[in-house]
Structure 1
Amino acid sequence: MSVRPEAPQPRLHDWFARSAHRHGDGRTALEVDGHHLGYAALSALADTVAGTVLARHAGRPARVGLLASRSVLAYAGYLGILRLGATVVPLNPAFPLARSGDVAKEAGLDLVLADASLPDLDSLPVPVLRLTDRDLLDPPAESPVPAPPPAPAVSGNDLAYILFTSGSTGRPKGVPVTHDNVAAYLGHVIPRYGLGPGARVSQTFDLTFDPSVYDMFAAWGSGATLVVPTRDDVLSPVRYVNERRITHWNSVPSVAAIAMRLRALKPGAMPTLRWSLFCGEALKTAHAGAWAAAAPNSTLENIYGPTEMTVTWTEYRLPADPADWPDTGNGTVPIGTPYPGQEHLVLDEDGRPADEGELCARGSQRFPGYLDPADDAGRFHAFDGRRATAYDGSGPLTPEHWYRTGDRVRRQADGTLVHLGRIDHQLKIHGYRVELGEIELLLTRQPGVTDAVVLAVPGRKGEPVLRAVCTGGPADPAELLDALREKLPAYMVPATVGFTEALPLNANGKVDRAALVASLSRPEAA
């Protein structure tokens, strides 16, 4: 008896293409910057991007940077790059161009597709294709863009996108994600959240932040509408939800915290919402409660996942009655349990299974390893059923290896996981991952700085504020901060830089960070 082979998983562009085939212009795919584009229209614009790239670039590119945001070009560009069978590498226009240049080199980009209105694009170290929304929406009749040829065959193991996170080595660290990784993820979340025609999905995340993959492709993979806010809209979520009739919300919890602080989360304020998802930071129970009261028709879920496990990887659905919400002991909503088919371990400091310790993960959503294999050493475990041993990079990295998330969790009696914080010096600010070592390394490269420690101390309202303490001198703190701003996004630049004669050491001869934090932990002045 012959066994029929399993059908291949859809590639990332397929999720959109199938909806475009089904819905044409009968359904709106994208609302951005005053434009309403049906599925057929957006598909045609993606073809225009793909054809333009082929016409102006020698050969089909393998990896393309996308330097655009909240525009028709950004979304048609994302789809157009995938349409070519290439890998998308999002770049953020809000970040220093020098950082985008570093990413371009690390990723081995063939070219960058960029918003032509951005300045200084000639400084990028790879060819740049400049386009505008007008180029796509109103192309000159005398120079039609050739239609791209049929999309090439793409393997499930090929890379759909590469995102770059803050790296402890002082350079951005590339996280490649395969088409099969994304297919496993979308295959779960689209039906879970009842997405389909008529759903209107928020898009609060920049394309360099992986929850944007959910926003775009959970919407487009189901025939829903992606509704892109302006930057001002993100700061006024209640107004945005109501004016744009959002049904599916997804954001970092700090958006809810800001809305709560501004007293915008009045009971019943967002009646159109059916689903509310929060990810990227710990979700405080108080913020969840205020949001749930403001969106009484919405089911609220806390979702969690490192970029390396493809967007999100665990889920916890809060009961409809707040009286039934769990008390986790730290004022946060549990991160829940892994998605079906995903595996996890909780390991203590000795690498043995425990109810509290580091969360390790594997499964169909686990990325294949960092873009630079040297970054894999120490980030994975082999586990023999009794004890884990760190992967040292000397042998092949296989799907059997467990990714070390660096997150501390506690497993409750029912198997639900509660997030307790980071085990290293990495943290998240505004939902973005920050490696303090990257900032420290850049500081030590500045004239007059001998050593540097960057610390996160509580601000006036409890939010983490970065402060740097250096040895050496003389050096002008303002000049040091200006130098960091040339290489780092704003959320990674410390609020202050101070100098000390010597860094305090603990009994083991290591820098006593706890002592430094204690000396700096004064809330921000008003």
Structure 2
Amino acid sequence: MSLTLVERFLRGLEVSPDRPAVRIGSDVVTYREAHDTASRWAGSLMADGSPRTVGVLAGKSTTSYVGLLAVLYAGATVVPLLPHFPAALTRWMIKLAGVETLIVDERGLAVLPEITDRDTSFRVLDTGGFADRFPTIPVTSHPVISAPVPVAPSDQAYILFTSGSTGVPKGVPISHGSFTHYFELQDRRCDFGPDDVISQTFDLNFDCGIHVVFSAWGAGATVQTVPPSAYRDLPAFLAEHGITVWYSTPSGIWMAREMGGLDKGALDGLRWSFFAGEALRCQDAADWQAAAPGSKVENLYGPTELTITVCRHRWSGEESERRGVNGTVPIGQVHEAHDFRLVTEQGQRSSVEGELWVTGPQMATGYLDPADEEGRFVDLDGRRWYRTGDRVRARPDGELAYIGRLDSQVKVHGWRVELAEVDHVVRECDGVRGAVTVTRTALHGTELVVFYTGDEVPETVLAAGVRAVLPDSILPRRYVHLAAFPLNSNRKVDRIALRERAAGLAG
């Protein structure tokens, strides 16, 4: 049955009216409470006029979750915004998305003066009695709407912004129809129910965070936020809160491992485990499976432009290892009703390897700024395609293996170097847990720097391993040991920070 995002919540409300819809620390909001509050807020927004685009500027608070629901109830487009982002960036996002109304929590309220300028005007829904501080929309005491506003599949549900790892973030409008197709496929294979508790390790401006919310709400399950401190003893945290479904970036695995949380059977309460946002290493998947023996482990792949994820692979031990590349888990098959093609550097279609292009019902129609679409959205053969920028390898059965970003293949003194391959070789050295290779500019041209975690290993040992894939003349200039990789706001390895650190190294 195809359901909109709002209809997914209403299904959860029907089966779990008095169960928690979301738990954040000691704060709990039931489905009934979330519905009643969202109805009041939506009615208040509509009493002030028909809102088109509403920003939710909030941290990890109940306001952020109820606010998202209220905007959708009002039939408007929601733009999740984070208080800890630079004020200038948030101001730019607000202007680009056309946000005229904000829902804020205390953290959002605190940063509003920094965001506001003479060219930025908006009204704030008065959810907390701050009418004397900003132009506000009063909240009525009773719902003005008897039911959520109906929407069409082509209507915008969310505007999410890409991470901006290669420049200024791009605004991606995602339709209700795209979300409907995504969650319909998920419902067919996942048996989530009211007794499930689903981990929320993501912020709500990240598409994976949207996955968690509406996976839970469509089943009447509970969203349980996971603070960074939980990794100090992840098994205890999961047991205390009854978490049955885990979802994080692969970085969450090594965070748990570093704290001793991946002992065999330590996570035996999990039924499902999902990882996305970064390449998933086979060793990490195996370690997690051993700690969570009763869990189905899936590797999910997909950029924001293709609505959360568009490929999946179920971990199957040695078979998955055999199908992967450079020690990473395959990304699996493209979702049904979609088509894909692999395109070589010469622009030719390949049946074996190339850049992954995808088209289908989950694809965004473009960016908020059409100027950003060049090189990403392509009209070909009567269809519009999205170029992912990822190099993949295809098996005869249609399953795909991730090789790396197109920009991860670099030239060093005329040699083509696949950075992911260097990472893999370094990780194979005894004592090494993780490895990330970056480039830096030197007087004699481009050179490589490897950052790694685990035991500190002599550079001669690491270099000996890398010689298997690189000639001596272009071996990495430095091997830098780290206690842990830096993470960005989405808890992915922060490669920009590593490149900046590499540029500042002596020698």
Category of TM-score, reference length = shorter chain: 0.7 to 0.9
- 1:238 aligned onto 2:231: no
Shift in Å, 1:24: 2.2
Match of 2:27 among 4, 26, 35: 35
Match of 2:56 among 61, 66, 76: 66
- 1:219 aligned onto 2:209: no
Do 2:216 and 2:223's aligned partners in 1 also have CA atoms closer than 8 Å? yes
Coordinate RMSD, CA, aligned: 3.3
- 1:23 aligned onto 2:16: yes
Do 1:237 and 1:259's aligned partners in 2 also have CA atoms closer than 8 Å? yes
Q: Describe the superposition over 1:231-285 as per-residue Cα deviations: whole angstroms up to 9, x where unpaired.
A: 4225653332221111111110000012123322000001110001100000011
Shift in alpha-carbon separation, 1:407–1:34, aligned structure 2, 3 A? same
Do 2:45 and 2:125's aligned partners in 1 also have CA atoms closer than 8 Å? no
Do 1:201 and 1:225's aligned partners in 2 also have CA atoms closer than 8 Å? yes
Do 1:121 and 1:128's aligned partners in 2 also have CA atoms closer than 8 Å? no
| Within-5 A mapping of 1:11-410 | 11-25=4-18, 27-54=19-46, 58-118=48-108, 119-124=110-115, 125-129=120-124, 145-149=141-145, 150-167=147-164, 170-233=167-230, 236-319=233-316, 322-327=317-322, 328-354=324-350, 355-384=352-381, 400-410=383-393
Shift in alpha-carbon separation, 1:188–1:173, aligned structure 2, 3 A? same
Q: Describe the superposition over 1:146-181 as per-residue Cα deviations: whole angstroms up to 9, x where unpaired.
A: 413243331110100010114589533101100000
Do 2:44 and 2:140's aligned partners in 1 also have CA atoms closer than 8 Å? no
Do 2:6 and 2:73's aligned partners in 1 also have CA atoms closer than 8 Å? yes
Within 2, Cα distance between the matches of 1:455 and 1:127? Answer: 48
| Within-5 A mapping of 1:413-492 | 413-424=396-407, 457-461=449-453
Do 1:53 and 1:129's aligned partners in 2 also have CA atoms closer than 8 Å? no
Amino acid at match of 1:127: F
Do 2:197 and 2:221's aligned partners in 1 also have CA atoms closer than 8 Å? yes
Within 2, Cα distance between the matches of 1:456 and 1:192? Answer: 43
Shift in alpha-carbon separation, 1:51–1:109, aligned structure 2, 3 A? same
Shift in alpha-carbon separation, 1:131–1:277, aligned structure 2, 3 A? farther
The 3-state SS of whatever aligns with 2:242 is: coil
Do 1:210 and 1:307's aligned partners in 2 also have CA atoms closer than 8 Å? yes
Shift in Å, 1:85: 0.5
Within 2, Cα distance between the matches of 1:166 and 1:229? Answer: 21
Instruction: In structure 2, list runs of 5 or more residues that go unmatched.
Output: 131-137, 410-418, 421-437, 439-444, 455-487
The 3-state SS of whatever aligns with 1:369 is: coil
Within 1, Cα distance between the matches of 2:506 and 2:305? Answer: 35
Amino acid at match of 2:349: P
Amino acid at match of 2:75: G
Within 1, Cα distance between the matches of 2:364 and 2:15? Answer: 31
Within 1, Cα distance between the matches of 2:214 and 2:38? Answer: 15
Shift in alpha-carbon separation, 1:234–1:309, aligned structure 2, 3 A? farther
The 3-state SS of whatever aligns with 2:321 is: coil
Within 2, Cα distance between the matches of 1:68 and 1:424? Answer: 34
Amino acid at match of 1:69: G
Within 1, Cα distance between the matches of 2:68 and 2:206? Answer: 14
The 3-state SS of whatever aligns with 1:286 is: helix
Do 1:68 and 1:115's aligned partners in 2 also have CA atoms closer than 8 Å? yes
Within 2, Cα distance between the matches of 1:145 and 1:215? Answer: 30
The 3-state SS of whatever aligns with 1:223 is: coil
Do 2:231 and 2:255's aligned partners in 1 also have CA atoms closer than 8 Å? no
Shift in Å, 1:127: 1.9
Shift in Å, 1:128: 4.5
Amino acid at match of 1:75: Y
Within 2, Cα distance between the matches of 1:191 and 1:200? Answer: 19
Within 2, Cα distance between the matches of 1:495 and 1:343? Answer: 35
The 3-state SS of whatever aligns with 2:453 is: coil
Shift in Å, 1:97: 1.9
The 3-state SS of whatever aligns with 1:424 is: helix
Amino acid at match of 1:368: T
Within 2, Cα distance between the matches of 1:37 and 1:253? Answer: 29
Do 1:24 and 1:40's aligned partners in 2 also have CA atoms closer than 8 Å? yes
Q: Describe the superposition over 1:170-219 as per-residue Cα deviations: whole angstroms up to 9, x where unpaired.
A: 53310110000000000011231211221111111100110111100011
Do 2:321 and 2:327's aligned partners in 1 also have CA atoms closer than 8 Å? no
Q: Describe the superposition over 1:42-85 as per-residue Cα deviations: whole angstroms up to 9, x where unpaired.
A: 11121232234345xx4121101111122110110010111110
Shift in Å, 1:297: 0.6
Within 1, Cα distance between the matches of 2:180 and 2:400? Answer: 25
Amino acid at match of 1:318: W
Q: Give the aligned length.
A: 425
Shift in alpha-carbon separation, 1:240–1:190, aligned structure 2, 3 A? farther
Q: Describe the superposition over 1:69-117 as per-residue Cα deviations: whole angstroms up to 9, x where unpaired.
A: 2211011001011111010101112211221111001111012211134
The percent of aligned pairs where both chains have the same amino acid is: 38
The 3-state SS of whatever aligns with 2:171 is: strand
The 3-state SS of whatever aligns with 2:364 is: coil
Specify the alignment match of 2:479 in structure 1.
none
Within 2, Cα distance between the matches of 1:245 and 1:143? Answer: 35
Do 1:66 and 1:78's aligned partners in 2 also have CA atoms closer than 8 Å? yes
Shift in Å, 1:134: 9.7
Specify the alignment match of 1:432 in structure 2.
none
Amino acid at match of 1:41: E
The 3-state SS of whatever aligns with 1:401 is: strand
Structure-1-length-normalised TM-score: 0.73
Within 2, Cα distance between the matches of 1:211 and 1:251? Answer: 8
Structure-2-length-normalised TM-score: 0.76
Shift in alpha-carbon separation, 1:361–1:20, aligned structure 2, 3 A? same
Amino acid at match of 2:89: R
Instruction: In structure 1, list runs of 5 or more residues that go unmatched.
Output: 1-6, 136-141, 385-397, 429-435, 437-452, 463-484, 499-516
Shift in Å, 1:522: 8.8
Q: Which shows bigger deviation, 285-294 or 45-54?
A: 45-54
